[in-house]
């Protein structure tokens, strides 16, 4: 199922827990997101191991630093063989990431505005406008900087598709099947709706990882989006 658009978020603390999940998912998943918790716990060796086992890896590090540091860190990620990497969507940071990738196949994905931010948070950071305005500005900047795509919420994916163009890779977390627990997610869409609105990949965490039968849950989701091997 290598071409499946579902990326499973390995939001666990240890390699053992991650391995149990991967084993439970079996052939129903092959694309995994390694975020800050797991990365800071187990490091890049685990990413290299996943790659050597023919999985795809989205390294969700949301990089943000001075250009030279970002450039050199991205070169390290290229060496590890990760497939996707997230970067905060400020222009100089994105341009440094593109330079660090140096033509390698790693896909760089820009974070526009964290979905946990509202306009009060923007005021505190000194931005006068709306979240939607800042998302729009950052999508334009990101595509001009030469990254491959955008991480965006399902409620903004249709608009981001219009702004970013047909070639952009759009990756959407905050996805839940109808009836599934939403947890702390406030703005959710179903997997089918997110894809209909223009998402290329769905990041799915707790609905799959906390299911009694992760593989069964995954197969239901793949059925829901009518994915066939
Ligand atoms: O909510 P769920 O468990 O499906 O989240 C899966 C992943 O998506 C988590 O790793 C979380 O960090 C990420 N996420 C995100 N933006 C959101 C919601 C979740 O990046 N708005």
Q: Are 189 and 155 in contact (CB under 8 A)?
A: yes
Close Cβ partners of 40 (under 8 Å, ≥ 6 residues apart): none
At 110-139, the pLDDT tens digits run 999 888 888 999 999 999 999 999 999 999
Q: Which of 51, 62, 71, 229 is catalytic?
A: 62
Q: What backbone phi and psi angles, to 5 degrees, belong to 66? A: -65, 155
Does ligand 1 come within 6 angstroms of the Cβ of 174?
yes
- Give the burial string for 65-85 (b: 16+ CB within 10 Å, else e): eeeeebbebbbebbebbbbbb
**Residue 33 has what pLDDT?**
98
Answer yes or no: 186 catalytic. no
At 19-38, the pLDDT tens digits run 999 999 999 999 999 999 99
Does ligand 1 come within 6 angstroms of the Cβ of 191?
no
Pocket test residue of 11, 36, 203 for ligand 1, highest count of atoms within 8 A of CB: 203
**Rounded CA gap, 3 and 229, in Å?**
7
Q: What's the DSSP call for residue 145?
A: H
Q: Are 107 and 131 in contact (CB under 8 A)?
A: no
**Rounded CA gap, 78 and 83, in Å?**
8
State the DSSP string of 117-141: --HHHHHHTT--S-HHHHHHHHHHH
Does ligand 1 come within 6 angstroms of the Cβ of 25?
no
Does ligand 1 come within 6 angstroms of the Cβ of 156?
no
Q: What rounded mean pLDDT belongs to the chain?
A: 94
What's the whole-number mean pLDDT along residues 47-66? Answer: 97
**Residue 222 has what pLDDT?**
96
Does residue 192 surpass a pLDDT of 60?
yes
Does residue 3 surpass a pLDDT of 70?
yes
The Cβ-side half-sphere exposure at 134, using a 13 Å CA radius, reads 21
């Amino acid at each position: 199922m290598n071409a499946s658009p579902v990326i499973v978020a390995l939001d666990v603390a240890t390699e053992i827990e991650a391995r149990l999940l991967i084993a439970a998912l079996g052939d129903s998943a092959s694309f995994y997101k390694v975020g800050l918790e797991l990365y800071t716990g187990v490091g890049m060796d685990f990413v290299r191991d996943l790659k050597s086992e023919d999985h795809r890896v989205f390294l969700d590090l949301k990089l943000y630093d001075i250009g030279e540091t970002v450039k050199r860190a991205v070169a390290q990620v290229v060496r590890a063989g990760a497939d996707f990497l997230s970067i905060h969507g400020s222009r100089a940071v994105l341009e440094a990431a593109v330079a660090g990738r140096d033509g390698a196949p790693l896909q760089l994905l820009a974070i526009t505005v964290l979905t946990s931010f509202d306009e009060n948070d923007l005021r505190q950071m000194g931005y006068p406008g709306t979240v939607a305005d800042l998302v729009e500005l950052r999508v334009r900047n990101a595509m001009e900087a030469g990254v491959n795509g955008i991480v965006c919420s399902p409620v903004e994916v249709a608009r981001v598709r219009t702004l970013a163009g047909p070639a952009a890779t759009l990756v959407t977390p905050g996805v839940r099947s109808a009836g599934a627990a939403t947890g702390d997610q406030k703005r959710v869409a179903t997997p089918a709706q997110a894809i209909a609105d223009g998402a290329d990949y769905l990041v799915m965490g707790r609905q799959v990882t906390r299911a009694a039968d992760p593989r069964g849950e995954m197969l239901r989701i793949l059925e829901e989006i009518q994915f066939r091997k």
